[in-house]
Amino acid sequence: MQTNLLALTRRKWLTSALASAASLAFGGTASAQSAFTNWVANFRPRALKRGISEKTYDRVMGSVKPDTSVYELQRKQPEFTEELWQYINRRCSEYRLNIGKARAREHAALLTRIEKDYGVDRFLMLALWGMESSFGDVIDNPKYMRAVIPALAALAWGEPRRRKYWEAELLNALVIVDRGWAEPAKMIGSWAGAMGHTQWMPEVWLNVGVDYDNDGRINPFGSPADAFAGTARYLVERGKYKRGETWGCEVKAGGAHADNRTWRTYAKWRELGVVRADGEAFARPNDNVKLWRPVQGGPAFLVGQNYLAVRSYNPSDSYTLALVHLGDRIRGEPDFRQQFPGGERAPTLAEVQEIQRRLNEQGFRTDGLDGRVGTDTLVAVRGFQQKVGITPADGYPGLKVLARLRQGL
């Protein structure tokens, strides 16, 4: 009976909190504003116990308005479902390769220093930068980013499912302000609070960040020096990145079973009939790797500890495979030798630009004709697919869409 009463009380409290949050999200009411103000006051002792000064807490939290639009962003399911080959093609586009190669030249000295100090391959670092923030292009773009303290305050107050996590990250953000590393208005990031060139959460900024440019503060914005060093440190300390090893490579598996669990040396895999897809010898035959085929009938890979180190940054195999492949492509290596089932080659930059131009001519706006595939282009492609009856209407701007566009409506 007591348990049921507690459960009912908790449900009632959660319902009340969510109702207050929803009320603020749709313009706010006096009671909702009062509920948030009370929460800020009740949260204050937690911040002071953490070591945040009264002055900082009152200045920041006394004026903050919770960004309740994050509730919808958190609940929202992805608009586009991508096959793995589509995911990789979009993120390893010619547009991104060109930018990555330019950034490699521009930041060659910094990347050399990172390799020397941390052992993390420069092209992997470039690929992570490209995946996380398009090489810094979107870190302060209001179309994609927002002030993180109002977002974290809203999540800590009104999102009960991961409340402890959001509370901890809000406190971490306040510590950063208290240390003088950043002003709240400059802390811009994703709806979940990830910031800067390589999209650090406040906890990462606080505990793994590095003042690599020696200006007296750790800053994931501005010059990418601190962001690169902190991210390299993350890969080494938390991901167990191994200096000198590669992430792995594409292989021809022969009759070997790709169970993604069994670790053997490259040399042992060679004895079992597994060879590099390009026919070259394994450069480090004594490194340990496992055999993995992400899609039945698609390419196979030997992946090692540095693949797992990258995966520790974002625990998604689609993300990780696209990232390490992007790094190889920026380095100058070719595309995968074997295609994924049902896949097609990535469109060239000129072909993506043609897709965008033809979509705009037919009334589907892509917000640019630069060959960069963002959300507007995906929405435009899906609108075209729906209009002409292409199924699935997945928004992928590929060769089949281009062929249909060339036929006209």
Q: What confidence score (pLDDT) does residue 142 get?
A: 86
Range scoring the smallest mean pLDDT among 8-17, 24-33, 54-63, 375-384: 8-17
Nearest one of 324, 240, 252, 242 to 284, comparing CA atoms: 242
Write down the mean pLDDT value for the chain: 91
d(CA 73, CA 150): 14
Sign of CA dihedral 230, 231, 232, 236: positive
Query: What mean pLDDT is predicted for residues 199-216?
Result: 97
Band of pLDDT at residue 16, cut at 50, 70 and 90: very low
Nearest one of 340, 357, 363 to 397, comparing CA atoms: 357
Two structure tokens written together for 106? 């521009």
CATH fourth-level superfamily of 17-75+144-195: Bacterial muramidase (1.10.8.350)
- In sequence order, the β-bridge partners of residue 189 are 146, 195
Q: What confidence score (pLDDT) does residue 19 get?
A: 47
Q: Which residues contact 330 (CB under 8 A, 6 or more apart)?
A: 97, 100, 101, 104, 123, 126, 127, 130
Q: Are 182 and 115 in contact (CB under 8 A)?
A: no
d(CA 367, CA 378): 11
| CATH number for the domain whose boundaries are 349-407 | 1.10.101
d(CA 238, CA 258): 26
Q: What percent of the chain clears pLDDT 90, i.e. is strictly above it?
A: 85
* pLDDT per position as a tens digit, 349-382: 999 999 999 999 999 999 889 999 988 999 999 9
Q: Are 381 and 396 in contact (CB under 8 A)?
A: yes
- Give domain limits for the chain: 17-75+144-195, 349-407
Query: What mean pLDDT is predicted for residues 326-342?
Result: 97
Q: Are 353 and 370 in contact (CB under 8 A)?
A: yes
Q: What confidence score (pLDDT) does residue 80 get?
A: 62
Query: What mean pLDDT is predicted for residues 77-98?
Result: 88
d(CA 98, CA 130): 11
d(CA 42, CA 47): 10
pLDDT at 1 > cutoff 60: no
Q: What percent of the chain clears pLDDT 70, i.e. is strictly above it?
A: 91
Q: Are 123 and 114 in contact (CB under 8 A)?
A: no
Q: Are 115 and 315 in contact (CB under 8 A)?
A: no
d(CA 22, CA 202): 26
Q: Label residues 83-122 b or e (16+ Cβ within 10 Å = b).
A: bbbbbbbbbbbbbbbebbbebbeebeebbebbeeebbbbb
d(CA 34, CA 66): 12
* 165-172 contact pairs (CB < 8 A, 24+): 167/43, 167/46, 168/203, 169/193, 169/201, 169/202, 169/203, 170/202, 171/46, 171/47, 171/50, 171/52, 172/201, 172/202, 172/203, 172/205, 172/206
Q: What confidence score (pLDDT) does residue 28 get?
A: 55
Q: What confidence score (pLDDT) does residue 29 get?
A: 65
Where do the H-state alpha helices sit in 107-224? 108-118, 122-133, 148-158, 163-178, 202-208
pLDDT at 192 > cutoff 70: yes
Query: What mean pLDDT is predicted for residues 104-116?
Result: 98
Q: What confidence score (pLDDT) does residue 109 get?
A: 98
Q: What confidence score (pLDDT) does residue 6 get?
A: 33
Q: What confidence score (pLDDT) does residue 4 get?
A: 38
Nearest one of 198, 191, 196 to 234, comparing CA atoms: 198
Query: What mean pLDDT is predicted for residues 165-193?
Result: 96
- Would you call 252 helix, strand, or coil by DSSP? strand
* pLDDT per position as a tens digit, 213-251: 999 999 999 999 999 999 999 999 999 999 999 999 999
Q: What confidence score (pLDDT) does residue 63 get?
A: 92
